[in-house]
A and B are shown apart, each in its own frame.
Chain A
Amino acid sequence: AQSVTQLGSHVSVSEGALVLLRCNYSSSVPPYLFWYVQYPNQGLQLLLKYTSAATLVKGINGFEAEFKKSETSFHLTKPSAHMSDAAEYFCAVRGGDNFNKFYFGSGTKLNVKP
């Protein structure tokens, strides 16, 4: 089965600082890759997705992620954090052994300090 690893269950940054959330996956076959955001008591919303076009993917709210096949990584970044970015972020993978399924990481809670 596919595994998705998000390093750091909690990340804290200052407002205006760089946001870097890490995601690594296990598949040797490049899958489809996604980042989702979840605000309290809500469902998950798509931030961005990689589907084998450009390796640098831009998403909503100023986020972007870079697919690096050699590192099996898909890290999420944002140049300047805003208070409204405080939420939980999930990396997800579709593919590897079974393209019917989505596999999710355990999530990273982002705290933004004023």
Chain B
Amino acid sequence: DAGITQSPRHKVTETGTPVTLRCHQTENHRYMYWYRQDPGHGLRLIHYSYGVKDTDKGEVSDGYSVSRSKTEDFLLTLESATSSQTSVYFCAISESVVNTEAFFGQGTRLTVV
């Protein structure tokens, strides 16, 4: 299995509070991704990174920010959590553009109450 660790695995937080999810990889892969998974929507891309300090938005980036100061860590921050951000969040990594798949972490279940 690819070395990807998401933390925390479960979190309950209150509306309006900031929340940070962490993704840590030991594979030295260039690309890192944050997705959210909701029933009927599959996986939707929030943000991704194509190198240290290089990030870009995905399709559902509003209300989220990311940072990547080291190759191995990719942080997702919910600036002010809302109930609509209750979801399962997955981190994924990929080595390069050509010929390579994404490897996924085990997910973080976030509940905003």
Given A34-B101, A101-B45, A106-B41, A43 contacting B33 (CB threshold 8 A): no
Q: Is the CB of A101 within 8 A of B58?
A: yes
A92 to B31, CA, bound (A): 16
Distance (whole angstroms) from the CB of A4 to the closest CB of chain B? 8
A46 within 8 Å of B by Cβ?
yes
> Which residues of A1-16 are within 8 A (CB) of B?
1, 6, 9
B1-43 interface mask toward A, CB cutoff 8 Å, 1 = contact, 0 = none? 0000000000000000000000000000001010100001111
Q: Which residues of A contact B101 (CB under 8 A)?
A: 34, 46, 49
B99 pairs with A51, CB closer than 8 A: yes
Residues of B within 8 A of A (CB-CB), count:
26
> Which A residues are in CB contact (< 8 Å) with B48?
100-101
- CB of B74 within 8 Å of the partner chain: no
Taking a contact as CB atoms under 8 Å apart, the answer to whether B102 and A102 are in contact is yes
| Dominant secondary structure at the A interface | strand
Q: How many chain A residues have a CB neighbour from B under 8 Å?
A: 26
Tell me the smallest distance from the CB of A114 to a CB of chain B, in Å: 26
Do the beta carbons of A102 and B45 come within 8 Å of each other? Answer: yes
- Binary contact track B78-110/A, C-beta < 8 Å → 1, others 0: 000000000000101010010101111111000
B62 contacts across to A, CB distance below 8 A: none
Binding site for A on B (CB under 8 A): 31, 33, 35, 40-45, 48, 50, 56, 58-59, 90, 92, 94, 97, 99, 101-107
Q: A90-B42, A102-B94 are in contact. List 14 more A-B contacts (CB 8 A).
A: A1-B59, A34-B101, A43-B104, A43-B105, A43-B106, A44-B102, A49-B101, A51-B99, A90-B43, A100-B31, A100-B56, A101-B45, A104-B44, A105-B42
